[in-house]
Amino acid sequence: MSLDEDSVSNDGQEPTPNAFTIEDLTVGAQSHGFRHTEDGRSFAFQVKRGGLRMEVYHGGLSSHVPPPGDVSSVAELSVNGLDLYDERSVAAVVRDAAAQAVKHERRPEQSTTIHASLTRLGSVIDGI
């Protein structure tokens, strides 16, 4: 599933510049998804234990699943009281998280749940 808020990208092409897009948005108690911020950087988010964590990656990455060292900023927001089964509500809080993401410096040996999940998802897709 793809939710393109500012651009339509049905042909598999990259979104237009200055377009915030969410691709593969999964709603529910453990909502998650990924795509691009308005400045074109990739991001991934995951809802866990009443909170949303978004990782925004450095621009110009060649990998579809960036390693933990490529995280440039992070946002963590509470999702208490949010309807996690409503696609528009989840998309709105993700857009808010992108706007509130703050610079993050990570030690190379640290890993993230989002990266691990996306790596596994990439392996499954490659196997299809």
pLDDT tens, residue by residue, 85-118: 999 999 999 999 999 988 876 555 555 677 777 7
Spatial CB neighbours of 60, under 8 Å, sequence gap ≥ 6: none
3-state secondary structure of 49: coil
Average pLDDT of every residue of the chain: 79
- Please write the tens of the pLDDT for every residue from 20-67: 888 889 999 999 999 888 888 889 999 998 999 999 988 877 666 777
pLDDT of residue 86: 96
How open is the CA angle 116-120-121, to the nearest 5 degrees? Answer: 115
- The residues spanned by each domain of the chain are 2-127
pLDDT of residue 3: 46
Cα distance between residue 90 and residue 28, in whole Å:
9
pLDDT of residue 106: 57
